[in-house]
Amino acid sequence: MNNILITGGAGFIGSHLAEKILNEGDKVTIIDDLSTGKLNNINHLLNNSNLEFINDSILNIDTVDRLIKNTDIIFHLAAAVGVYLIVKDPVKVIETNILGTHSILQLASKYNKKVLIASTSEIYGKNSHVPFNEEDDRILGPTTKSRWSYSTSKAVDEFLGLAYHKQNGLAVTIFRLFNTVGPKQESRYGMVIPRLIDQSIQKKPLTVYGDGLQTRCFCDVDDVVNGILALSKSKKAIGEVFNIGSNIEISILDLAKKILQIVRKNNIETLTNNQIKFVPYDEAYEVGFEDMLRRVPDTTKIKSLIGWEPKISLDQTLNRIISEKLAN
C-alpha cells in the first residue's frame, strides 16, 4: 500500500484523482486550503479510513514537510487556476504557483520523493502551429497583459521541476492538461462548459465570448486521471513532459448549440429567443484580452509510452455533467 499526497486534492481534478487512488487501495492525504477547491468535492470520501484531509496551504512549510516526509508519491495539483482569477488576482496566481511549487520540490528533494506536477496547455501561449508538441516553442504576449502571467508561472514550475530532476536526481514527471471537463467542475473560474450548462438549465442566454469560432478540445476527467496515474507508474516517464487531452476540436459556438440540444433532449424547457449571446472579450475579461484561436494537443508521446488515449466522448461527458446538475 502506497502513501499518496495530493496537493489541491479538494479541487475538481484532484478530488477525482483521490477517489480513483482510494479505489485502488492506497492511502491518500489531501492538503487544500479550499481557496478554489471545495469540501463538497470530497465529502463522500471523508469516511474512508485511508483518507486524511488537511485544510492548510502548501505555503505552510512545517505542515508540508511533515506530509512529504511520510509519503511515497506526490501529485502536485494545487495552483491558482482559471482565466477570471488570472485577470482579477494576478499576484495570487504568480505567488501561489511559483512559491508553492518551489516548496513542494524543495521538500520532495529533501526526502527523495517522486513528484508529478500538473501543468497546462497555457504553456504554449499563442503559438498557432497545432497540434502542440511537448517540444514546441512558446509564444507569449507582453508582460503588460496579465493574461500571460499564468502561462509564465506554470513554465517556471516546469523549469524548476526539470532542474531538480537534472541537478538532484529527483523523480519528476510533468503533465500538461488541455481543457479537462466533467462532474464537479464549476463555472466561477471561467470554465466554459459548466458556465454554458448552468445558463441553459437556468433558462438564461448562453454567453459565448468573441465570435465563438475559437476551438478547444475537451477531455473527460476520468480519462485524464487514468493518464496521470499511468504516468506515475512508469519509470520511463521520469524527467519528461507529457500532453494529456483530447485532439477532437469543437468551436465554442458549436459547443453552446450542442449543450442546448442535449438539454432539450432531457425535456428541459429552454429559451426560444436570444439563446446565444455574444460577449466581447474586453467586456468578459479586460481591455486588450488575447485568446487563442485553436488549442490542440499532440498526444503521440503519452500514447507511445503508456498506450493512453481518451475513451469518453464529449457527448457522454456533457450528459454526465447535465445529469449531475439536475440531480442537485
CB 174 within 8 A of CB 241: yes
Cβ neighbors of 18 (< 8 A, separation 6 or more) are: 6, 9, 28, 30, 42, 45, 51
CB 98 within 8 A of CB 117: no
Task: Give 152-155's long-range contacts (Cβ < 8 A, gap of 24+).
Answer: 152/94, 153/93, 153/94, 153/97, 153/98, 154/79, 154/97, 154/119, 154/120, 154/122, 154/123, 155/123
Would you call 164 a catalytic residue per the annotation?
no
Phi-psi group of 182: left, alpha or beta (phi > 0 → left; psi -120 to 50 → alpha; rest → beta)? left
Cβ neighbors of 157 (< 8 A, separation 6 or more) are: 97, 98, 101, 117, 119
- Where helices occur in 219-280 by DSSP H, the ranges are 221-232, 252-265
Indicate which residue of 84, 111, 124, 150 is catalytic.
150
Dihedral sign from CA coordinates of 204, 207, 213, 218:
negative
Just list the catalytic residues: 150
